[in-house]
Amino acid sequence: MSKLTAAMRNHLPDSKFAGPDRSYPINDPPHAANAKARATQQENKGNLSPAAAARIRARANKVLSHGK
C-alpha cells in the first residue's frame, strides 16, 4: 500500500473518503481494498452498522473497478 502521510491525508478532498468524518480513505486501489477489509472487520465487531459498512464497500468497489 502506498504511504499516506498526515499532510497528504489532510489535503485529500472529502470525496476520497468512504466513511463518516473523513474515515476510510479510498484515494487509490490499495487503500480502497483496505477500507473494505476494515469496514467488514468493524461491522463484525459491532462497531459499524451493516448499512454503513455496505456504503463503505460500495464506494471502495467504485475505486477498485476503475483501477482495473
- The 10s digit of each residue's pLDDT in 3-39 is 999 999 999 999 999 999 999 999 999 999 999 999 9
Residue 17 domain-assigned (yes or no): no
Answer whether 4's CB lies under 8 Å from 25's CB.
yes
Residue 61 domain-assigned (yes or no): yes
Residue 67 domain-assigned (yes or no): yes
pLDDT tens digits for 30-64? 999 999 999 999 999 999 999 999 999 999 999 99
Range of the domain at 58: 25-68
Any idea which residue has 464497500 for its cell? 57
Domain count, the chain: 1
**Exposure string for 11-33, b = 16+ CB within 10 A, e = fewer:** eeeeebbbbeeeebbbbbbebbb
Residue 10 domain-assigned (yes or no): no
Question: What's the pTM?
Answer: 0.90
Residue 63 domain-assigned (yes or no): yes
Residue 4 domain-assigned (yes or no): no
Residue 2 domain-assigned (yes or no): no
